[in-house]
Amino acid sequence: MQANASGDDASRSHGDPSSRQPPPPGPELGLPLPQRYWAIVVVALGITLAVLDSAIANVALPTIARDLHASAAASIWVVNAYQLAVTISLLPLASLGDRIGYRRVYLGGLMLFTVASFGCALATSLPTLAVARVIQGFGAAGIMSVNTALVRMIYPPAHLGRGVAINAMVVAVSSAVGPTVASGVLAIAPWPWLFAINVPIGIAAIVSGLKALPRNPGHDAAYDYLSAVMNAFMFGLVIFAVDGLGHGEAPGYVALEALGAVVLGYFLVRRQLSRPAPLLPVDLLRIPVFALSVGTSVCSFCAQMLAFVSLPFMMQDMLGLSQVQTGLLMTPWPLVIIVAAPLSGVLSDRVSAGWLGGIGLAALTIGLVLLATLGAHPDPLQIAWRMALCGAGFGIFQSPNNRTMLAAAPRERSGGASGMLGTARLTGQTLGAALVALIFGVAPQHGPTIALYVAACFSASAALISTMRVMQRANPSPA
């Protein structure tokens, strides 16, 4: 009788169409269409604003310094204030997202960023602009800290690579085209418009995000404010030490800053080891594939920044090209990323990220070496295809690497993984910029060429670390 009952239940189950329908979309299965499209557009808009604003201010610094009657050295704080605020608050805000929900942190960051952009546009003195940039940086950190965690909520697991690819493509292209966008705006408008154009875009993203972005359940654990403060001071000291090393600061000060960062880092890590959901994600770093992906990301973004900073000097000072020619010949790099990143993102749902990352970073290494060995009078086509090779390699690597970092973390730790992804990128970029300054100071005549060779070394190291992941399997929970 029991067997027959079971058989009857099974036959009813097979005969009832409703029993064969998949469960409704939710946090585990992504958003339904077309809400998914609207949500990823909101995420892309926000991350574009945040990343673009970290790049466009560099081009406008001379103009800002003249208009605000500030020295060139003082005007650097327009860039440093933003970068510092982003870096010290990424992980604390990612941890907050795990607690109160990624949607709240993202929209809160977007609102703060939009208001601060308006403040930047109205600034009439350098101190006022620097303060507005700090606030803008905290808003950008809110966007960057949880954007990939939101992507994990938006896309079903089978299509996660596509969502991560879109996100990675937006980040890469925004970083690359920042100077070009800034030059275009400055050609037709004064510098405040670099910040004013963020306002309508930010408002549109906020309104759309309120309707489209998914909600995720948080947890009731108390927020670790002491760890957040320790994290901020640690990363702040690291940035000051690296920046001081690159700009020839007194060795004693650099050593003191580095020592302070190490001491704070030691006590921060000890504190995090006893936490179930640590702000500094030491639990995720115990997962081998996650830790290897972080190392790959730091090395690769360091290589990219070394190239992006040194190439304009090489092309203008060594090859005699104009600013316009330099901009045009560097364009193939971001353009190819637009094609390569989505393709590798789709492949990452089927092919090992270790192999894809290794192949892509090997191509980037070859491209960097070929750029470093250009002759004295290269044909524009020779420069362009080398740039395209670098862009293809970087695009192939980035999406699978980000997908692996996100998928290796438990779902409830998506915020920590997202924050660590952004922190790895910023750490690599900061280290790359400091190394360029150090190389140029030591060997000014051959600085660009040496910087490209160093970039190739970092890229090759990243390729090696990436292939090591082939021997690892992502563990869904920390060991």
pLDDT for 143 beyond 80: yes
pLDDT at 73: 64
Instruction: Name the token pair of 267.
Output: 């006590």
Sign of the Cα torsion 253, 254, 258, 259 reads negative
Tokens of residue 250, six digits: 């007194």
CA 208 vs. chain centroid, Å, equals 23
CB distance 56 to 194 below 8 Å: yes
What is the per-residue DSSP string for 373-419? T--SS--HHHHHHHHHHHHHHHHHHHHHHHHHHHHHS-GGGHHHHHH
Provide DSSP, 63-101.
HHHHHTT--HHHHTHHHHHHHHHHHHHHHHHHHHHHHH-
The answer to whether residues 113 and 64 touch, using CB atoms and an 8 Å cutoff, is no
- Looking at domain 286-479, its CATH superfamily turns out to be MFS general substrate transporter like domains (1.20.1250.20)
34-218 and 286-479 agree in CATH topology: yes
**Which range has the top average pLDDT, 175-179, 212-216, 302-306, 456-460?**
456-460
Query: Six-digit token pair at 355?
Result: 């192999």
* Residue 249 · residue 135 · CB < 8 Å: no
Instruction: Average the pLDDT over 335-360 and give the result.
Output: 83
The Cα–Cα gap between 181 and 386 comes to 23
| CATH 3.40.50.980 describes domain 34-218 | no
Structure token pair of residue 145: 């800290």
Q: Is the pLDDT of residue 305 over 90?
A: no
- Section 25-37 average pLDDT: 70
Reduced 3-state DSSP string for 268-296: HHHHHCCCCCCCCCHHHHCCHHHHHHHHH
pLDDT given at position 263: 93
Q: pLDDT > 90: what percent of the chain?
A: 26
> What residues does each domain of the chain span?
34-218, 225-274, 286-479
Cβ–Cβ under 8 Å, residues 49 and 116 = no
What's the length of the chain?
479
Residue 384 token pair? 């362009």
Cis upstream peptide for 444 (omega within 30°): no
* Helices 353-372 and 447-468, axial angle in degrees (round to 10): 170
Q: Where does the pLDDT of residue 458 fall: very low under 50, low under 70, confident under 90, or very high at 90 and above? A: very high
d(CA 145, CA 463): 26
For the segment 337-358, the average pLDDT, to the nearest whole number, is 82
Are the beta carbons of 378 and 366 closer than 8 angstroms?
A: no
**N-terminal to C-terminal alpha carbon distance within the chain:** 47
Does the pLDDT value for residue 17 go beyond 70? no
Cβ contact 472:289 at 8 Å: yes
280-300 confidence digits (pLDDT tens): 888 888 888 899 999 999 999
